Chain A
Amino acid sequence: MTLANRQGTGAVVPVERNDQRFRAGQGTAAGLSIVFRKFRKALFGKPNSDRSDTEGQFNVQYPEERLSLPEAYRNMPILLFDDATGHELCTSCFQCERVCPPQVIHITQAKDPATGKPVPSAAEFIIEYDTCMSCGYCAEVCPFDAIKMDHDYELSTSNHPELDVNYNRLLRPVSYYETIAPTLWNDVRESAMKKLQNNIKRRPGAIGVDHGQKVGAKAAPAAVARPADPAGAGASAVVPAAKRAPVAAIGKTMSEEKLAKLQSIRADNQAKRGGAGAPVDSAHAVEAAVGVQPDTAQVAAPDAATPGSVAPGATGPVAAVGTSMSEEKRAKLEAIRAAKRAQGGE
């Protein structure tokens, strides 16, 4: 039988109300026995990881433990720039501004100072994070893959105007996006880079590079400039202007699963390039340009940044429960749990 001419069947079934049964509390007792069974499993069972489990421990101790985020996860939009050249991928084509349902994207096109003609680059780019509804349309329609959805969800701030995020605070290196969504970026990487090369040719001078400085001088009216030092800024919404922030720090809490994926993709790409007889140097150069050495990044992470001083953007790509939690955090969690156990025992 083919799918199209399959005919479903079904009946109208009255639900059973168990009306005539003799009652002496056995219904309540049956329910309570289920509760006690589950309660025992929750107390002495193992933490649950499989989706088919219906008993055991389900809790995730949030600040210490985090669930890993899927690659497609979307929170707030960010803009990408190329690690090697510093060129922004955005060409101010206004597609995202047009499609944005709550209309929170505001773009100003860059102009050539010599001729006054528009250049495929944005002079200013503001997104109102407080009104953004995270629908992901901007990332979906962007023909240049310049705007992507970030994974950072710890955006709370006491400074409301800060949530009108300007260009330099929206910018992230491509390698950062690669760490949070390796497969998705791999699908579009080649076309995005090709388009970027074409656009660079049409950008005279330094337009489209080093945006942080230019905009900083102009001092965008809505966005309050934030201190460049992430440690001084404390826990706040957006990664500060430092475009050249060490990418290694950003990728430090990448889950192992994602890391493995990223490395395999890179190996593939390298093999492709190497097949044409490229020298080992060029592969190194690419690695250096991208700026991430995930192996060292993970080791270096705990001492490079203490929890208080990390900009939340850096903690975005979140560790899978128990798998890639940093040693420090795991030890802390163990200590907390041991203390609780001791308390319960006494």
Chain B
Amino acid sequence: MLKTEELRINIGPQHPSTHGVFRMLVTVDGETLVDLKPVFGYLHRNHEQLGEVNSYLQNMPFTDRLDYFNSMINNHAYARSVEMLAGIEVPERAQYIRVIMDELSRILNHATALGFMLGDMGAWQTALLWGLREREKILDLFEYVSGARMMCNYARFGGVARDIDDYFITETRKLMDGLPHYFDDFEGLLTNSEIMLARARNIGVLPKELALSYSVTGPVLRASGVPYDIRRAEPYAVYDRFDFDIPVGTVGDVYDRFLVRIAEMRQAYRILEQAFQQLPEAGGGHINPKVKQQSLKPPIGEAYARVESPKGELGFYLVSDGTGNAYRYKVRAPSFINLTALADMCKGYKLADAMVILGSIDIVMGEVDR
């Protein structure tokens, strides 16, 4: 056999398929990947320290900028953490509104994430634009209700900033009428395509045990066959009232991650349907009026609240010393922790597969670097 020399190359930090300013230091033997070292920190902006200087309310818009695809879910998670810390009650209607926004976010995130992943695979533009198109429709709804498309800043302690009205509900209903067709189209587009199967099947396998030992969460973990979903394992908001299935994969490869995400979009649709059915019965306003938003001073203590973000377990850890700003503020970002498993997922595969595997983890650098 011909002896070859190993070569170290940089992919990124400015590379179109690294999903942001992310650098992969790879060692290749021919085309086979021998080693991969993820290098990040290029987007560091001192988020956690800022959270300790700002007041609790002031930090809310900064959480939008973590995972900028799902600012609604970030807001929800942060608000939940502060509510836990200060013992604030959230009215039922607000809980339902938050669930509706979360599930809409989940659909838009998965639609775009899969689009980007397929783009990495070579299905240039079509799949991505279909994802972006659905995202656009949902963002219009977010804009209507919160005032901004991506940086929603919608949650408040004890509820949400504005109530949803009939216009929002009818428009979301309209959007939902089209969603099943969209899922079918998106699934039919490439799921059985021979090219897709060749690029995705048995590529980037992450075994169950390894996934657990890296504490990977979200669709990546479920694709490896672990049915762990915080909405079911530790129900928050009103998630214990909905019927929904947890799709899991069997092999843990890129193809499973693709299928799990499509199945999750369908489940999100189911939750939305039920949430809209139950919403009229839900009591309370959109916000708890007793909470002092600006001058909130939670009692001394600590709290860790987590939600199932589309990327995995998103948690906010807060320590209060009784003053107006947090003593310690820590974000458990799913993208960051899922990214640590990248090296083990990529080893032994071809260099071109590394892009697809990275796409299948679905990272957002805003959240990885903070």
In the complex the two chains form, is B256's CB within 8 Å of A17's CB?
yes
Given A58-B133, A135-B153, check contact A17 B245 (CB 8 Å).
no
In the complex the two chains form, is A13's CB within 8 Å of B247's CB?
yes
Q: A101 to nearest B CB, angstroms?
A: 4
Minimal Cβ-Cβ distance residue in A for B62 = A101
In the complex the two chains form, is A8's CB within 8 Å of B242's CB?
yes
In the complex the two chains form, is B243's CB within 8 Å of A72's CB?
no
| Chain A CB within 8 A of B177 CB | yes
In the complex the two chains form, is A72's CB within 8 Å of B147's CB?
yes
Minimal Cβ-Cβ distance residue in B for A8 = B242
Docked CA distance A207–B151 (Å)? 37
In the complex the two chains form, is A35's CB within 8 Å of B248's CB?
no
Q: A152 to nearest B CB, angstroms?
A: 14
In the complex the two chains form, is A101's CB within 8 Å of B245's CB?
no
Given A8-B243, A15-B248, check contact A31 B143 (CB 8 Å).
no
Minimal Cβ-Cβ distance residue in A for B261 = A15
Given A52-B178, A136-B153, check contact A13 B194 (CB 8 Å).
no
In the complex the two chains form, is B126's CB within 8 Å of A14's CB?
no
Given A16-B259, A54-B178, A74-B148, check contact A11 B245 (CB 8 Å).
yes
Q: B34 to nearest A CB, angstroms?
A: 29
From the candidates B140, B161, B191, B243, name the one contacting A9 in the complex (CB within 8 A).
Answer: B243
| Chain A CB within 8 A of B313 CB | no
In the complex the two chains form, is A17's CB within 8 Å of B255's CB?
yes
Q: Which residues of A contact B175 (CB under 8 A)?
A: 51-52
Docked CA distance A16–B151 (Å)? 36
Which B residues from 239 to 263 make CB contacts under 8 A with A? Answer: 239-251, 255-256, 259-260, 263
| Chain A CB within 8 A of B345 CB | no
From the candidates B133, B190, B239, B248, name the one contacting A31 in the complex (CB within 8 A).
Answer: B190
Q: Which residues of A contact B249 (CB under 8 A)?
A: 14-15
In the complex the two chains form, is B192's CB within 8 Å of A31's CB?
yes
What size tier do the contact residues of chain B reach?
35 or more
Q: Which residues of A contact B62 (CB under 8 A)?
A: 101
Q: Which residues of A contact B259 (CB under 8 A)?
A: 15-17
In the complex the two chains form, is A28's CB within 8 Å of B194's CB?
yes
Q: Which residues of B contact A14 (CB under 8 A)?
A: 225, 247-250
What is the 8 Å Cβ interface bit string for chain B, positions 162-174, against chain A (1 contact, 0 not)?
A: 1000000001001
From the candidates B137, B190, B282, name the one contacting A3 in the complex (CB within 8 A).
Answer: B282
Interface stretch among B15-23, B180-188, B205-213? B180-188
What is the 8 Å Cβ interface bit string for chain B, positions 134-156, against chain A (1 contact, 0 not)?
A: 00110010011111100101000
In the complex the two chains form, is A12's CB within 8 Å of B197's CB?
no
| Chain B CB within 8 A of A159 CB | no
Which A residues from 131 to 157 make CB contacts under 8 A with B? Answer: 133-137, 140-141, 149
What is the 8 Å Cβ interface bit string for chain B, positions 69-84, against chain A (1 contact, 0 not)?
A: 0000000000000000
| Chain B CB within 8 A of A116 CB | no
Q: A59 to nearest B CB, angstroms?
A: 10
| Chain A CB within 8 A of B278 CB | yes
Q: A77 to nearest B CB, angstroms?
A: 12
Minimal Cβ-Cβ distance residue in A for B161 = A140
What is the 8 Å Cβ interface bit string for chain B, positions 191-229, against chain A (1 contact, 0 not)?
A: 111111100010000000000000000000000010100
| Chain A CB within 8 A of B232 CB | yes
Given A35-B126, A51-B174, check contact A8 B244 (CB 8 Å).
yes
Given A52-B174, A58-B133, check contact A28 B193 (CB 8 Å).
yes
Q: Which residues of A contact B197 (CB under 8 A)?
A: 23, 27
In the complex the two chains form, is A134's CB within 8 Å of B58's CB?
no
Docked CA distance A27–B188 (Å)? 8
Docked CA distance A8–B260 (Å)? 21
Which residue, B176, B182, B193, has most C-beta atoms of chain A within 10 A?
B193
| Chain B CB within 8 A of A10 CB | yes
Q: B138 to nearest A CB, angstroms?
A: 9
Given A8-B240, A17-B251, check contact A30 B256 (CB 8 Å).
no
In the complex the two chains form, is A30's CB within 8 Å of B162's CB?
no
In the complex the two chains form, is B194's CB within 8 Å of A51's CB?
no
What is the 8 Å Cβ interface bit string for chain A, positions 291-308, against chain B (1 contact, 0 not)?
A: 000000000000000000
In the complex the two chains form, is A101's CB within 8 Å of B61's CB?
yes
In the complex the two chains form, is B245's CB within 8 Å of A135's CB?
no
In the complex the two chains form, is B248's CB within 8 Å of A6's CB?
no
Q: Which residues of B contact A6 (CB under 8 A)?
A: 241, 278
Q: B254 to nearest A CB, angstroms?
A: 12
Q: Which residues of B contact A23 (CB under 8 A)?
A: 194, 197
Q: Which residues of B contact A73 (CB under 8 A)?
A: 143, 147-148
Minimal Cβ-Cβ distance residue in A for B263 = A15
Docked CA distance A137–B256 (Å)? 43
In the complex the two chains form, is A34's CB within 8 Å of B188's CB?
yes
From the candidates B143, B151, B161, B201, name the one contacting A70 in the complex (CB within 8 A).
Answer: B143
Q: Which residues of B contact A7 (CB under 8 A)?
A: 240-241
Which A residues from 38 to 53 make CB contacts under 8 A with B? Answer: 38, 50-53
In the complex the two chains form, is A18's CB within 8 Å of B241's CB?
no
Q: A192 to nearest B CB, angstroms?
A: 18
In the complex the two chains form, is B144's CB within 8 Å of A70's CB?
yes
Q: A80 to nearest B CB, angstroms?
A: 17
| Chain B CB within 8 A of A25 CB | yes
Q: Which residues of B contact A133 (CB under 8 A)?
A: 61, 151
Chain B residues within 8 Å of A, Cβ to Cβ: 54, 57-62, 92, 126, 133, 136-137, 140, 143-148, 151, 153, 161-162, 171, 174-178, 181-182, 185, 188-197, 201, 225, 227, 232, 235, 239-251, 255-256, 259-260, 263, 278, 281-282, 294
With A10-B242, A14-B249 known, 13 other A-B pairs at CB within 8 A are A3-B282, A6-B241, A8-B239, A10-B246, A14-B225, A15-B250, A17-B250, A23-B197, A28-B195, A51-B178, A52-B178, A53-B178, A134-B148
Chain A to chain B: the 7 pairs with minimum beta-carbon distance, closest first: A27-B192, A135-B61, A52-B178, A15-B259, A52-B177, A74-B147, A12-B227
Q: List 15 A-B contacts (CB under 8 A).
A: A7-B241, A9-B243, A10-B244, A13-B245, A28-B192, A28-B194, A34-B185, A34-B188, A51-B175, A53-B178, A70-B144, A73-B143, A74-B148, A135-B151, A149-B147
